[in-house]
Amino acid sequence: MLHLFFHLVVMANHEDGSWQGISVKRGQLITGRKALSLATGISEQSIRTCLARLERTGEITQKSTSRFSIITLCNYSDYQSRKEITNQQLTSNQPAINQQSTTNNNENNVTKEKDIVGQKPRQQIPFKEIIDFFNETTGKDFKHTTNGTKSHIRARWAEGFRLDDFKEVIKEKHFEWSTNPEMEQYVRPQTLFGAKFESYLQAAKDSSDNKPKSKWVPNAKFSANVPH
Assign domain 2-117 to a CATH class.
mainly alpha
- pLDDT for the residue numbered 211: 55
Helix (H, G, I), strand (E, B) or coil at 111: coil
- pLDDT for the residue numbered 75: 87
Q: Where in the chain is the domain with CATH 1.10.10.10?
A: 2-117
> Which residues partner with 24 through β-bridges?
17
- pLDDT for the residue numbered 64: 84
Beta strands in 25-74 (DSSP E): 28-31, 60-64, 69-73
- pLDDT for the residue numbered 210: 59
- pLDDT for the residue numbered 219: 56
How many residues make up the chain in this entry?
A: 228
**What are the Cα distances from residue 27, in Å, to 14, 66, 185?**
6, 22, 49
- DSSP state string for 131-166: HHHHHHHH-----TT-HHHHHHHHHHHHTT--HHHH
pTM score over 0.75: no
Strand order in the sheet with 28-31: 28-31, 69-73, 60-64
Distance from C-alpha of 14 to C-alpha of 107, rounded to nearest angstrom? 11
- pLDDT for the residue numbered 131: 95
Mean pLDDT by 10 residues, the chain (228 residues): 88 85 89 86 89 91 87 85 40 41 44 38 82 94 91 87 93 88 88 89 77 51 44
